[in-house]
Chains A and B, each alone.
Chain A
Amino acid sequence: MFKLNLKIAWRNLWKNKGYTLINVLGLSIGMASCILIFIFIRYQMSFDEGFKDQDRIYRMVSSWDYSDGNQFYSQGVPIPITPAVRDDFSPYIEKVSAIQNSGGIVKVNDQHGKEKVKSIENVFYVEPDFFEIFNYKWLSGNYESLKEPNHAVLSKEMAKKFFGNWNDALGKTINYDGNLNYIITGIIDDVPENNSVPLRIMLSYKSLKDRNLNNWGSVSSASESYFKLKRGIKIETLSEPLRLFIKKYYTEKAPGKEGHIFQPLADIHYNERFGNFSGRIMPKKQLYGLMVIGLFLILTASINFINLATAQAVSRSKEVGVRKVMGSQRGQLVTQFLTETFIIVLISLLIASVLTEIALPSMQNLFNAKISFSFFQHPIILVFMFVLVVCVSLIAGFYPAVIMSGFNPALAIKNKISANTGGLGLRKVLVVVQFAITITLIIGTLVILQQMKFIREQPLGFNPTAIAMVDLPNDSLTVERFNRFKAQLKQLPGVEEVSFCRTAPSSQNNNGSSFAYNNSKDADFQVNAKNADEDFLKTFDLKLIAGRNLSKSDSTNEFIVNETLLKRLNVAKPADALGKMISLGGQKKPIVGVVQDFKNKSLHESIDPIIVCSRIERYYYAAVKLNAKQMMTTMKSVEQVWKSNFPEFVYNESFLNDDINNFYQGEKIMGTLFKVFAGTIIFISFIGLFGLISFVAAQRTKEVAIRKVLGASTIELVRMLNGSFLIMVFIANLVAWPLAYLFISKWLSGFAYRIDISIWPFALAMVISMAITLITVSIRSYKAAAANTIDALKYE
C-alpha cells in the first residue's frame, strides 16, 4: 500500500512539474533561511555556556543615577571593590576575582636573546581565583603561580604563536609592555569564540600597576569582577548586604548615585547596557526578531503549498472517489496525502541543506562569527531539521489532506467536485496573510534603508573624510618625541593637517568628569573632556562660534566648550561664556572659545556636553588629514616616519570614516538581513501567486473561451482574471500598514536622530506589491486569454 501511494505521489508530482517546482523551490528557500537563522541563533545562545556551576557565576557591574533622571551603566567596577567584596560578602560567595583588561606589545626572544616575536596583544591580569570560578581546561601547568607577580598563563594558540609548539612554552618568558618579563607557568586549551571573556594571555594580577588601584571614584570598563555564589544561596539575599556595602564604601559626594548590579553570567552576552571583553553583544530582542522572520518565511512557503494543493485538489477528486468506493477510509487518505507532503518537504530539506551550505560563508561574513553547519558538532541542528520537516509537513499538508479526504465519493467519481470546494475563501485569506507579511517586510526594509541613508548624510558637525587615526604610543619617553614627529608629518607631501588628540570628535570612547562652572559648586551633570592640541579644530574642520582657538600648549591652560554644555548651564549667548572659569580635574582655567555642536557618539545617542583642552599625557592618536587624491602613498610615508620615531612599538592605523561606519554595524547587519529576507519572501510569495493564477487560468479556460466567443477582448479577459488578485493584494496592504507602522516606530525610537515616518514607504510598498502582482498574473492570464478558443470548447 505504502509503495503504491508513493508511486501515485511520485507520478502526480511529475505530472504537475510546474506546481511541484514552485512548492519545492519555495519550501527549500524558506527552510534554508530557517536553518540559517537557527544556526545563527544556536551560536548566539551558546555563549558562556558549559562552565561548571554556571548558574552560580555572576559579574558585578556598575550604575549611576543622576539627578536629571539620566542613568549610566558600566561593565566595569572600581578596582578596590574586589578585595572589599571578598571580605564583606564572604558568607554568601565562594570566590570572587578581579580581571583587568589591557593591551600592549608582547615581545618574545629566542634562546640567543634575539627578538623573535613583537606584536600588539590583548592581555588580562587575573587573580588565581578566577580559575576557581571558571573551570577552563588545563593542558599543562596550573594557576597556583599566578598568586605571585610576574607569571603568565597562555592559551594553546598563543603558546604556539610565541614558541612554535605549545609543549615548549612552559618555563619560558614573555615581555609585556617593555618593562616586565613573565614566566609561563600554565597552558589552557583555547577558549572558544563564543565566550564573553576571550582569554589568551593571562598575567599575575599582582603585576598590575594602575593609578586607580585604590580609587573608588573611577570606573573603567577594563576592570571587571566575577564571583561565584555559595551553593544554596539566592542572589536576592545579597541585596541588603549590597545596600550597606555601597553606603560603607562610597563616602565622597559624586554627581551620580553609585550602584552595583549582580549580572548573571547567562545575561552577559545579551545585555546591551553593559559591554563585555569580547565586544560581542546580541540583544535577545534581535534574536526574537530573527525568529519571527524565520517563522514568516516558513509560513509564506507553507501558504504556497496549501493554496496550490487545495487548488489542485479537484484534479485528484476522482482518485479520492475511487479509493473510497474501494473501501479506503478517511484516515488512510489523510495519511496518504500527508505522506505526499512529507516527501515534498523532505526533498526540499535536501535542497535547503545545499542552499544553507552555499549561503553560510556570506552569513559568517555578515555576522563576523564562526558559525558552522555540522551535524556532528551540533546534533541539535539535526533535531531542528527534523522538527522543521514535521511541522512544515503538518502545517502545509494537513488542511489540504482533510479537504481532499472529505470529498463525497458519489460526487467525486462523477467529477462533480467543483474547483471551489476546498476553501476558495480560505485560499483568499491565506493569500492576504502571505502578502501582508511580504508588504510589512517591504515597508520595514524601505524604512531601514531610508534611516541608514539619513544617518550617513547627517551632518556630523565636522568633516571625517580622508582622516587617518594613527596610534600614538604615550609614555614619559615617547612624549618627548611628539614635537619632532608632528613636524615631520606636516612636511610630508599629501598631509594637510595633523592633530594629536585623545580621541576623534566622534568616538565610542567617551568618559565623563565632574566639573564646576563660574565658581559655583559642581554641576549636577558630567562633562565629556576631549584632550587635543591646537590643531584639533582645523584638522577636523570644527566651527568656532565664539572666542578663539586654543593656543599651543602641552598642559591645560584654557578650555573650549560646546553649545550643548552652555545650554545645559543655561547660558544663552555663547559670547557670555568667554572668560568664565571652569574647574576640571583640579585645574581652574578660563573658557576661550565656544565650538559649534558636533556629534560625539553614534546617532543612537544625543550630543554630550563637551570640553576641549590640551594635555599632552592624554594624546593617544595622531589625526592626519590627507589630500584625498594621494591617500595610499601618503599613508606609506606616514608609516615610515612613525616607525623611525617609535621603533620599539607596533604601528596601527584606521580611517575615521570606517570607524564611524562601525558605529552602525548592528544596523548594517539589520539592513542586509532585511534586504535578503524581504527579497526571499517576495520571491516565495510571487512564485506562489504565479502558481495560483496558473491554476485559475487553467480552470477557467472554458469560461474564457465562451466569453471570447461571445465577443470579449483579450484585455477584458486579462482584467477579469487579474481582478481578484489585485483586490487581495490591496487588502493585504491595508492589513500590513498598521503592523508595519508599529514595527518601524518601535525600531526608529532607538535612534536619537531619526527620520519622520512618512506615507512614502507605505505607498511605495503598495506600488511595488501591486505592480509585481500585476506583472506576475498578467503573464499567465494573457496567455490564457489569448489561447485558441476552439480547443477549449471542443474538448469536453
Chain B
Amino acid sequence: MIKIENLEKVYKTEEVETTALNGINLHVAAGEFVSIMGPSGCGKSTLLNVMGLLDKPESGSYKFIDTELLTLNDRERSNFRKRNMGFVFQNFNLIDELTVFENIELPLIYNKIPAGERKRLVNEIIERMNIVNRSGHFPQQLSGGQQQRVAVARALVTKPKLVLADEPTGNLDSAHGNEVMELLCELNETGTTIVMVTHSSHDASFSNRIINLKDGHVISEKINKSRNEELI
C-alpha cells in the first residue's frame, strides 16, 4: 500500500544542518502493523510526520496505493490526509475546549459528513471503545488511558485506511498502555494498516514487522514471528 523510496529530509537551523532522513526505503503492505524503532533523534518521528503528510521531505518518493503524495499541494495534502489517515499521539492532543463527543466528531466535520450520520458514527465508536459514560466530559476530567482511548476513537471514526501512531503508550502506565496496544491489535485484525513509532520493544512485539532506524537509515528489519504465527 505504501512505497517510500529514497526519502531525504534535512533540518536547517542557522548553525547546523541535521539530516533526519537519509535515503529511506520502506514498503508497507495493506493490513500490516509495522513498528518503527530506534534511538532518540534517529528520524523515526520525522518519518511518521512525512508519512502523515505533516512534513515535507527534500527529495524522494512516497506512493500511497498508486498516488504519488509528495507532489500534492497544501490543499490536496490536507484533503488526502483527512480521507485516508488517522493519528494517535503520545500526548493525546485532544482539544481541551471540546468534550469527548465533540473531539471525536471533529474529523467527521472536516470530512463534511452530515450531522445525523456523524452522531451515529461517533456513538458507534464510543460504544466500541467503552467510553459511553464519558462522552460529555472534557479531556482534563479523564485519566490518561481514557484520554488515549478517546484519541484512538478519534483516529478511527473516519475509518481510515492507515493509522499512524506516535508512541501511543509513552504517557501511560503499563496497564493502560497494554489496553491501548490491544485496541490497536484489534483494529489491525479488522484490516486497518498501522504504522507505529515506539521506544518500547514490548509495544513493538504487538506488530508484524519491526523496522530499526539509526541516523536516518533503515539499519534492520525484523519479521515478528510470534505475532505472525498467532495470526496464522
Contacts and interface: CB of A to CB of B under 8 A. Distances in A.
Given A1-B109, A410-B54, A329 B93 contact: no
A292 B112 CA distance: 46
A325 B97 contact: no
Interface in A284-339: 318-319, 321-330
B98 A329 contact: no
Interface stretch (B27-35, B74-82, B194-202, B207-215): B74-82
| B: interface residue count bin | 20 to 34
A409 B54 contact: yes
Nearest to A13: B97
Interface stretch (A4-12, A23-31, A388-396, A669-677): A4-12
A7 B96 CA distance: 12
Given A12-B97, A413-B89, A7 B102 contact: yes
B98 A8 contact: yes
Most A CB contacts (10 A, CB to CB) among B83, B87, B94, B109 go to B109
Contact of B97 (A319, A329, A330): A319
Contacts of B52: 325
Contacts of B89: 413-414
A679 to B, nearest CB: 37
A329 B102 contact: no
Contacts of A330: 74
Contacts of A231: none
B129 interface: no
Contacts of B102: 4, 7
Contacts of A661: none
B78 A328 contact: yes
Given A4-B106, A327-B110, A329-B75, A15 B97 contact: yes
A191 B60 CA distance: 81
A215 interface: no
A7 B78 contact: no
Contacts of A413: 54, 89, 91, 93
A137 B95 CA distance: 66
Nearest to B164: A325
Interface in A400-427: 408-410, 413-415
Contacts of A328: 78, 110
A320 B96 CA distance: 12
B111 interface: yes
B87 A325 contact: yes
B91 A326 contact: no
Contact of A326 (B49, B82, B96): B82
Contacts of A318: 93, 95-96
A325 B54 contact: yes
B55 interface: yes
Given A327-B78, A327-B110, A415 B91 contact: yes
A4 B74 contact: no
A327 B79 contact: yes
A324 B91 CA distance: 16
Interface in B127-173: 154
Contacts of B107: 326-327
Nearest to A327: B82
Contacts of A415: 91
Contacts of A15: 97
B54 A319 contact: no
Contacts of A414: 89, 91
Most B CB contacts (10 A, CB to CB) among A321, A330, A408, A410 go to A410
Nearest to B95: A319
Contacts of A12: 97
A8 B97 contact: yes
A12 B96 CA distance: 9
Interface in B86-118: 87, 89, 91, 93-98, 102, 105-107, 109-111
| A: interface residue count bin | 20 to 34
Nearest to A14: B97
Nearest to A332: B110
Contacts of B97: 7-8, 11-12, 15, 319
Nearest to A415: B91
Interface string A86-113: 0000000000000000000000000000
B2 to A, nearest CB: 18
B58 to A, nearest CB: 15
A322 B81 contact: no
A414 B154 CA distance: 18
Nearest to B90: A414
Most B CB contacts (10 A, CB to CB) among A318, A327, A408 go to A327
Interface string B17-61: 000000000000000000000000000000001001011000000
Contacts of B81: 325-327
Nearest to B81: A327
A15 B96 CA distance: 10
Nearest to A326: B107
Contacts of B91: 413-415
Contacts of B95: 8, 318-319, 322-323
A414 B90 CA distance: 9
Contacts of B98: 4, 7-8, 11
Most A CB contacts (10 A, CB to CB) among B81, B83, B111 go to B81
Contacts of B94: 322
Nearest to B110: A327
A322 B55 CA distance: 14
Nearest to A12: B97
Contact of B106 (A323, A408, A409): A323
A327 B106 CA distance: 10
A223 B175 CA distance: 100
A329 B74 contact: yes
A15 to B, nearest CB: 7
Contacts of B79: 327
B135 to A, nearest CB: 15
Given A4-B106, A322-B95, A410 B78 contact: no
A7 B79 CA distance: 24
Most A CB contacts (10 A, CB to CB) among B79, B83, B110, B154 go to B110
A410 B111 contact: no
Nearest to B106: A326
Contacts of A408: 54-55
B82 A410 contact: no
A699 to B, nearest CB: 18
B49 to A, nearest CB: 4
A71 B97 CA distance: 71
A596 B203 CA distance: 105
Interface string B191-229: 000000000000000000000000000000000000000
Given A7-B97, A7-B102, A329 B49 contact: no
A414 B54 CA distance: 12
Nearest to B83: A327
A11 B106 CA distance: 16
A519 to B, nearest CB: 92
Contacts of B49: 410
A410 B11 CA distance: 13
Contacts of A410: 49, 54-55
A326 B91 CA distance: 16
B13 to A, nearest CB: 13
Given A7-B102, A327-B111, A413-B54, 7 more contacts: A4-B102, A8-B97, A323-B106, A324-B78, A326-B87, A327-B79, A328-B78
Per CB-CB distance, the 7 closest pairs between chain A and chain B, nearest first, are: A327-B82, A11-B97, A410-B54, A326-B107, A327-B110, A410-B49, A8-B97
Interface of A: 1, 4, 7-8, 11-12, 15, 318-319, 321-330, 408-410, 413-415
Interface of B: 49, 52, 54-55, 74-75, 78-79, 81-83, 87, 89, 91, 93-98, 102, 105-107, 109-111, 154
26 contacts: A1-B110, A4-B98, A4-B102, A7-B97, A11-B97, A15-B97, A319-B96, A319-B97, A322-B93, A322-B95, A323-B106, A324-B54, A325-B52, A325-B54, A325-B93, A326-B87, A326-B107, A327-B83, A327-B111, A328-B78, A329-B74, A329-B78, A409-B54, A410-B49, A413-B54, A415-B91
